[in-house]
Structure 1
Amino acid sequence: MWNLAKSYVLVLYLHACKGQSCPEIAQWVDSITGFSSEYPTTESWGAVQVIGPPDVFPSYRSSEFAWCPSSDNYDDDEHLQVMFAKPVLLTGVDVYETYHAGFTTRILAFDGQNWVTLWSTSTPYYTAEVRVHSPTLNVTGILTREIRVHGDCRPSGSWIEIDAIQLRGYAPSCGQSCPEIAQWVDSITGFSSEYPTTESWGAVQVIGPPDVFPSYRSSEFAWCPSSDNYDDDEHLQVMFAKPVLLTGVDVYETYHAGFTTRILAFDGQNWVTLWSTSTPYYTAEVRVHSPTLNVTGILTREIRVHGDCRPSGSWIEIDAIQLRGYAPSCGQNCTELAQWVDSISGFSSEYEYARGWAAVQVIGPPDVYPSNDGSELAWCPSDDSYDGDEHLQVVFINNC
């Protein structure tokens, strides 16, 4: 049993801390604020069963300690609306589906004024396995304490059950000690070309805050490449006063906008591509180009912006460039944190012998190490499942 050479996959959900003063907070449901329906048997299978930590998980089974919609109502849009004790700057939501899993279709959060859709899918499914549904959210960082989860019963053709819901986020005060810094260009370190009329339309025009924005017009107070050089790879390289842990770049395009093709940052050794596109375009409107970057968090103070004149068939103009990020000192409190497993969120299989060799044996510090022995105090997959993709999914306590 113990010498089989097999491949195992360990999936770790380790939530990053932003220093000891700003740990991620994880909360279970505190109260129920709404639901589409519930199974009509006193409190059994009622919405109130979702309050607090899981009662059923990690088991896959129907249980009176989970919420189930009414048997008259197994339709495409059941929902459960819950409140948590403390408002947080949202980072994640975990839905514990313990019967007929795969049904969640939408997760929304109330921001104090509106319901914001955090995640949605048009393809719910059915699986006879437990699932902790922790999707990558389209919106994070909003202040909330109320969540609504929608589910579709139709894939299973029967009822669905939610055991618990967890809200994750940072305390509202976390951003106060580490505000985002926004800087305008301090100096020019390079350019492909510039319009040859003293300083008018020169690269130096990008220094400082915008002169042209929010107007859309050609102006001598913006950078323009040489009229001999309207090609596919004009560029402007700029320096800012302070290095920051990068969060964003804003390019103020005030004439023949839509031309930016690449944004790069110098990390002290290499130029790192933050964003790029192969489809620049032309629009006769002003644009502040603030793309979602593929790379953030690097320490930088120098940015290079590339543009393509061809879509407009003429010149392009940049009025200003803004660099956004956090001060390098913001990361100084982030000491390395070592944690043992706090709970199990999923597994491919486990050896069926009471709690011996079960997934829960991984919780806490080692029981067997440094011995090289088979032990019921360690997790082992089922002897029916010695295949190429066993896995164990674990959660660590969200605390610095």
Structure 2
Amino acid sequence: MLKTADNAQISQVGPGTPMGTYLRKFWMPVARSAAVRAGADPVRAKALGVPMVIYRLADGSLGCLDEQCPHRRASLALGFNSGTSLTCIYHGWEFGSGGRCVAVPTEPEQRRDRFREILPVNAHPVREAAGMIWVYLGDGDEPPFPDMDFMGLDETQCQAVVGVTRCGWVQCLEGLVDTAHLGQLHKTQFPGQDQVAYEAAPSIIVRDRPYGMRIYADRPRPGGGHYYRVTEYIAPFWCFVPQNDERAAFCIVPIDDTHCMQWVIWYNKEDPLDPTMPLGRHVAPLTRNPDDFTADMRGKDRWGQDRDTLGRDHFSGLNNLFFEDLAVQESQGAIMDRENEHLGSSDVGVVRLRKILRDAATKAVAEPAVIFNHPGENDLKSIRGAAFESEGDNPEEALAVAGRAV
């Protein structure tokens, strides 16, 4: 459990909050690359309570600005993308590549150049990688850009989709580090369920890492040996969850205190993505609405749960493992009441996650500030989830023997 004040510390992400201060030190994906087209309408985005517009000019260059025009605060989402600039329709001010102000037609001609030079514009550094558009909302120089396992793959081997989840970001992260629920919530459709079913109450071992934590779930096999699942948490946003022969990374980016983006990065470093594979069968339906895959669940009673199959033909009554997660996460409330929960032995990863976040938020606003997993501080390229069977009784040794290629 967490006291109300401690819960607020990890849940509140707006400007000036401890957690918001910490999260602003990192690059974060906020839109799919394909959604921001050259010369097309600006795309609205929001992260950490900051409304933004992202636009792409005809030459492919990007800009990211606070949604409100720095002049009279009209929405730049109403703006016109000419291909060379984004124009505010209220007074015709124009913004070019990188958000730089390039025209202020309502100023006298002799003052325009000087006025543009001194105009404070809330433009944010923006980059593109792995089919996503990333922004940096912090102050000062841009930090090093993260290099993770899926970086550098083309669209045939890496696909990113995002869902807008109507709850606080931490409960989505908690779901990712909670490996015990796989054998319950997902028992009808999780890839590798035969192995997960070896043990309903796996032994959970948590090891601190310089970038976050590694979680081992040990399920003894009936005939001897073990089925190990290894989940990696990279602070503050990322989890690499094992998917047997396939790979997936998950990124939870707060939109505000009570909404978040839930990114699913499905990738294969050896072969093209295959929608007939076990994980592919669950990701493929999300691509119908890749800019918000939760759209398929909206407006439906109980998140579209089929009550006729519930507990009989289908354990959860929800037809996609991602929708299963989303439904239970949103059902916990806009911000989960952690003071009235009752944790068990399977929740050690959840407990450790909360401590990591609380410590990181506290240190981010200390004097001097210390940023946990500071960008560029750790090599993240080789980090990924792993799932494998082994005769070894020590999960760390078994992982080393199996190799990080699993």
TM beyond 0.5: no
Name the TM-score class by shorter chain: under 0.3
TM-score by length of structure 2 reads 0.23
Structure of greater relative contact order (alpha carbons < 8 Å, 6+ residues apart): 2
Q: Which has the larger radius of gyration?
A: 1
Larger helix share, 1 or 2:
2
